[in-house]
Amino acid sequence: MPSAHETHDFDVIVIGAGGAGLRAAIEAKGRGLRTALVCKSLLGKAHTVMAEGGVAAAMGNVYAEDNWQVHFRDTMRGGKMLNNWRMAQLHAQEAPDRVHELEAWGALFDRTQDGRILQRDFGGHRYARLAHVGDRTGLELIRTLQQKAVSMGIEVFMECKVLQLLRAGDGAVNGAVGYWRATGELVTFSAKAVVLATGGVGKSWKYTSNSWESTGDGHAMALWAGADLIDMECVQFHPTGMVWPLSVRGLLVTEGVRGDGGVLRNNEGTRFMFDYVAEMFRAETADSEAEADRWYADHSAGRRPPELLPRDEVARSINAEVKAGRGSPHGGVFLDIATRRTPEYIRRRLPSMYHQFMELAGVDITAEAMEVGPTCHYIMGGVRVDADTAATTVPGLFAAGEVAGGMHGSNRLGGNSLSDLLVFGRRAGMGASDFAEGAPGTPLDPAMVEDAASKALEPLGRDGGENPYDLHQNLQEIMQALVGIIRTGSELTEALGKLGELKARAAKVSVSGGRAYNPGWNLCTDLPAMLTVSTAVAQGALERRESRGGHTRDDFPGPDPEFGKVNLVQRQPGGGTVDVEITLAPEPLPAMPDDLAALFEEAH
Amino acid sequence: MTEVATTTTPTPAGTTPRGAGGTGSTPSIGDGVRMRIWRGDPAGGAFEEYRLPAQEGEVVLDVVHRIQATQAPDLACRWNCKAGKCGSCSAEINGKPRLMCMTRMDQLPEGPVTVAPMRTFPIIRDLATDVSFNFEMATRVPAFAPAPPPAEGYRMAQIDIERGQEFRKCIECFMCQDVCHVIRDHEENKTRYAGPRFFIRFAELEMHPLDTNDRRDLVRERMGLGLCNITKCCTEVCPEHIKITDNAIIPLKERAVDAHYDPVAWLGRKILRRTKRSAAEAAALHPPGPAPAP
């Protein structure tokens, strides 16, 4: 019974303490609401710290021509027009304010000669647009927000894993139940509004840039609470992850390397990206190395290098080169900045990349090329939200950041994630506050708490069952092999069959040890979300019979205009669990107003 | 960490016997690895030894993960990014504080590798320690308080922010706190000593071109800056190579002392107002322009 557990009452609880969660909590607390921040790790360790390159915002500090309309257009084109136009608009309009706000909270971005915030080039962005701090921008962002949150006295529940959202009789979300990792003791939260800011899903793949926390908890909990997910098949494989040593395979190599002059070569030394420029980008992409190289110093002296095409284009090209036998010794391609920039420049602009390769691979990137290949990095799909308020389709439930869908369409541009966290983190905080201020609050359902708790504890009481680590490894192998960067119908069908088998095995998982700080048990409680989300991704991928953005079907290699008009919506009507079937239906994208649509017809 | 006893854990029944010198299916190098990990809780514990095949290019954290997956599923350890960026997996490896994710096995000496929790913080379980001291200390740092932005937005020169940027590289691994003997050997100091991590935070704020709060008396009187006798242990263990002692603590000591004892500086301040102003004073001097874009 909940009365026997530790229980807390708040107006707003925010689940997840990365950039979006912190920003949402700051907004709600600033409104004077009783606000809690709940996170699986220690404060300040969220996956946001891994973001390297920068935060995209059309401030126009380096190229005065830049403005929100150009940023909006780049974002929509990068997402292959599957984006929620209103989210892309708000994002482009509000990102500069959010960056300036960070500065007023103590962030120290790199500067231009005249003392303004410096901006760097990144793939898919027409102008140098990423405010940054060397190659550790995510750390700066999270530390600034963390220090702001601490100074406001926001209550933080660290190392607290949320298992399930709680709902009132009318279906509205009114709390959550979880446990303290240190003790394993249960804790329940009663709240008038809940913000999901739980990040991504990458831990279901074998080679990923994501940390252990990226298990899709928010995606799954939203679905189980009856909320809609959209376009879950749209998963981004970042083109440049480390490929060697094997133990760090998948670890991110920032796009900033290419923005700062690095180029991709195959084992013949060829800059192969010139061979992979899609029709959509041909007019604005350089067609010779000389032209591309002129562009770095002056964007009016040449067109963009093809290495800076959107991530989906680059990742597919690398995949094709390796498949054609032109890859590097460890199955990637070469990313070369050593022959193109001085060691001093590289160490100043890319200090953590220098450090990472030196320490982990014994490679000096100022003297040698890096070996890189695609790594599972980000999910564009996610919880369906209202653009202005971040409200999900379930009353009382809000979502922001990677867990929310729509903003990035079928492919996210680099740098648009940090700005997304800030813009929609704030909006989710506002939306949740508006909702909470008018809400009376409803009592928690003790049966729902008890049910979630007893399910979570089952693996500890069971003997001789499946090892959760084996199950997780099997899941990663299935998703990597069958729901990876290039997909086909038969393999997706096979994946869904195997995921069904895994769900049956997951019901029999067991683990030794007690409840106190037991990672094996913690993993058991992450598995239902990982299996739910993996199923949604595979189902969406099977249904979307086209290739678009991060979703590539070998059996449907081109885009299909009909699929370009729809979100694939998945739900468990009325709510569900990992074992309940997920329905799927196409629904039309929100229609873009004419004035914005006109931006795509202008010559460029 | 006091070594209580040494025991060897047999491979638990029901798991694949990958132990004993690399007889499993995993490719192995040489004779495999031996790792002695402290297992226990606040009531006590001991080192337990694990054997498993070696794999090329592994870091200590990889081996810990393989032990969890095959031999000790409940072995507690913190980690997140596995890339040296989050500062979660701090431990004492062969007696020295290091990040498990950035310590390559092939660069450690031959023989068993010893992994113990950070000694300065109370044990939760195994390698996970209670680092809440640091989060409590963070709440005692008076917030950044800039003057209101001028109409055209803040301007700062790169050279003026680089000092602060060095300190903001901190990943909060808390190894500097762990190794600082002021609290490592003197538990009683924890109530009155912020420690190296927070001295660089104070230095960063002190050197921030926009900040208006004066924290020099606070850091001297309440944060124990004087207890640091600049042995540089913190600088030596910093995985971000921040020059904690030279670039933060020593300048902070000089500024704090100047603020308090130097009669010339004191008089100068009275006459010329060459100290930081309070946020309220600064606001009065610089009427706020429009916020940086609405």
C-beta separation of A14 from A197 below 8 A: yes
pTM value surpassing 0.90: yes
Give how far B250 is from chain A: nearest CA, Å: 22
pLDDT band at A181 (very low <50, low <70, confident <90, very high): very high
Mean pLDDT within A430-446: 95
Look at residue B30 in the predicted model and tell me its pLDDT.
60
- How far apart CA A514 and CA A537 sit, in angstroms, is 33
CATH code of the domain covering residue B154 = 1.10.1060.10
Q: ipTM surpassing 0.90, yes or no?
A: yes
- Kind of pairing, strands A333-336 and A370-379? antiparallel
- Per-residue CA distances from B187 to A297, B3, B121, B178, B232 (Å): 56, 19, 9, 12, 20
- pLDDT, one tens digit per residue, over B21-33 is 333 333 445 679 9
Asked if residue B277 has pLDDT above 80, the reply is no
Mean pLDDT within A112-133: 95
Q: Is B292 part of any domain?
A: no
Q: Is B1 part of any domain?
A: no
Testing the interface with B: which of A29, A47, A49 to mutate, by most B Cβ within 10 A? A49
Same domain flag for B137 and B208: yes
- How far apart CA B80 and CA B65 sit, in angstroms, is 12
| Domain final position from B129, B153, B186 | B129
pLDDT band at B280 (very low <50, low <70, confident <90, very high): low
Largest alpha-carbon pair distance within chain A? 71
Which residues of A carry out catalysis?
Answer: 238, 258
Q: Look up residue A412 and give its DSSP letter.
A: P
Look at residue B6 in the predicted model and tell me its pLDDT.
38
CA nearest to B147 within chain A = A104
- How far apart CA A435 and CA A174 sit, in angstroms, is 12
Which residues on chain B are in Cβ contact (under 8 Å) with A518? 73-74, 76, 125
Do B155 and A115 lie within an 8 Å CB cutoff?
yes
- How far apart CA A481 and CA A491 sit, in angstroms, is 9
Q: Is B271 part of any domain?
A: yes
| Domain final position from B98, B129, B160 | B129
Interface membership of A323 toward B (CB under 8 Å) = no
- pLDDT, one tens digit per residue, over A372-410 is 999 999 999 999 999 999 999 999 999 999 999 999 999
Which residues on chain B are in Cβ contact (under 8 Å) with A212? 79-80
Q: What is the mean pLDDT of chain A?
A: 95
C-beta separation of A16 from A42 below 8 A: no
CA A465 vs. chain centroid, Å, equals 33
| Domain final position from B129, B157, B173 | B129
- Per-residue CA distances from A432 to A221, A347, A545 (Å): 17, 43, 36
Interface membership of A355 toward B (CB under 8 Å) = yes
Dihedral of alpha carbons A108, A388, A39, B58, sign: negative
Element of type H or E holding A193: strand A186-196
Same domain flag for B61 and B102: yes
Domain that holds residue B160: 132-285
- In 3D space, the residue among A309, A243, A227 whose CA is nearest the CA of residue A272 turns out to be A309
C-beta separation of A601 from A556 below 8 A: no
| Strand ranges inside A16-65, DSSP E | 35-38, 55-56
Interface membership of A116 toward B (CB under 8 Å) = yes
Q: In what order do the strands lie in the sheet with B6-8?
A: B6-8, B44-52, B33-41, B113-116, B90-93, B96-99
Look at residue A174 in the predicted model and tell me its pLDDT.
97
Q: How many CB atoms lie within 10 A of CB A29?
A: 24
3-state secondary structure of A143: helix
Same domain flag for B117 and B148: no
Asked if residue A300 has pLDDT above 60, the reply is yes
Q: Is B248 part of any domain?
A: yes
Which residues, in sequence order, are bridge partners of residue A195? A14, A398
Cβ neighbours of residue A92 closer than 8 Å, sequence gap 6 or more: A58, A68, A69, A71, A72, A75
Mean pLDDT within A71-84: 97
Mean pLDDT within B216-222: 92
Rg (CA), chain A: 23
Interface membership of B158 toward A (CB under 8 Å) = yes
Look at residue A3 in the predicted model and tell me its pLDDT.
45
Which residues, in sequence order, are bridge partners of residue A567? A587
Q: Is B62 part of any domain?
A: yes
pLDDT band at B270 (very low <50, low <70, confident <90, very high): low
Tokens, residue A462: 């069971």
Same domain flag for B84 and B141: no
Give how far A230 is from chain B: nearest CA, Å: 27
Lowest mean pLDDT among A72-76, A152-156, A207-211: A207-211
Interface membership of A41 toward B (CB under 8 Å) = yes
Same domain flag for B27 and B73: yes
Of chain A, the percentage scoring pLDDT greater than 70 comes to 99
Burial of A439 (0-12, 13-18, 19+ CB in 10 A): middle
- How far apart CA A249 and CA A442 sit, in angstroms, is 47
Asked if residue B2 has pLDDT above 80, the reply is no
- How far apart CA A516 and CA A501 sit, in angstroms, is 30
Look at residue A410 in the predicted model and tell me its pLDDT.
97
Look at residue B271 in the predicted model and tell me its pLDDT.
62
- Kind of pairing, strands A186-196 and A397-399? parallel
Look at residue B204 in the predicted model and tell me its pLDDT.
97
Same domain flag for B36 and B167: no
- How far apart CA A86 and CA B207 sit, in angstroms, is 41
- pLDDT, one tens digit per residue, over B181-215 is 999 999 999 999 999 999 999 999 999 999 999 99
Interface membership of B59 toward A (CB under 8 Å) = yes
Same domain flag for B173 and B212: yes
- In 3D space, the residue among B242, B64, B231, B258 whose CA is nearest the CA of residue B165 turns out to be B242
Domains detected in chain A: 2-54+135-236+377-443 (3.50.50.60), 237-376 (3.90.700.10), 447-561 (1.20.58.100)
pLDDT band at B49 (very low <50, low <70, confident <90, very high): very high
**What string of H, E and C letters represents the secondary structure of B89-140?**
CEEEECCEEEEHHHCEHHHCCCCCEEEECCCCCCEEECCEECCHHHHHHHCC
- How far apart CA A106 and CA A143 sit, in angstroms, is 9
Same domain flag for B19 and B88: yes
Interface membership of B62 toward A (CB under 8 Å) = yes
Cβ neighbours of residue B285 closer than 8 Å, sequence gap 6 or more: B147, B277
Look at residue B20 in the predicted model and tell me its pLDDT.
32
Q: Which residue has the tokens 């907004």?
A: A27
Same domain flag for B102 and B163: no
Q: Is B290 part of any domain?
A: no
Q: Is B234 part of any domain?
A: yes
Q: How many CB atoms lie within 10 A of CB A99?
A: 26
Q: How many domains does chain B have?
A: 2
Same domain flag for B257 and B140: yes
Q: Which of B14, B87, B292 sits opposite A464 (nearest CB)?
A: B14
Q: Which of B62, B76, B208 sits opposite A519 (nearest CB)?
A: B76
| Strand ranges inside A352-428, DSSP E | 370-379, 382-383, 397-399
- In 3D space, the residue among A258, A220, A414 whose CA is nearest the CA of residue A340 turns out to be A258
Same domain flag for B112 and B40: yes
Q: Which residue has the tokens 């059996």?
A: A555
Asked if residue B14 has pLDDT above 80, the reply is no
Give the side-chain half-sphere CA count within 13 A for B146. Answer: 21
Same domain flag for B112 and B183: no
Q: Which of A44, A46, A473 sits opposite B172 (nearest CB)?
A: A44
- In 3D space, the residue among A22, A25, A26 whose CA is nearest the CA of residue A46 turns out to be A22
CA nearest to B149 within chain A = A104
pLDDT band at A438 (very low <50, low <70, confident <90, very high): confident
CATH code of the domain covering residue B42 = 3.10.20.30
- pLDDT, one tens digit per residue, over B166-186 is 999 999 999 999 999 999 999
- How far apart CA A71 and CA A122 sit, in angstroms, is 12
- How far apart CA A306 and CA A290 sit, in angstroms, is 12
Helices in A105-216 by DSSP H: which ranges?
137-152
CA A504 vs. chain centroid, Å, equals 28
What is the residue type of B184?
Answer: R
Mean pLDDT within A361-366: 94
Buried b / exposed e over B208-217, threshold 16 CB at 10 Å, is bebbbbbbbe
pLDDT band at A503 (very low <50, low <70, confident <90, very high): very high
Q: How many CB atoms lie within 10 A of CB A294?
A: 17
Interface membership of B30 toward A (CB under 8 Å) = no
Q: Is B246 part of any domain?
A: yes
Which residues on chain B are in Cβ contact (under 8 Å) with A114? 155
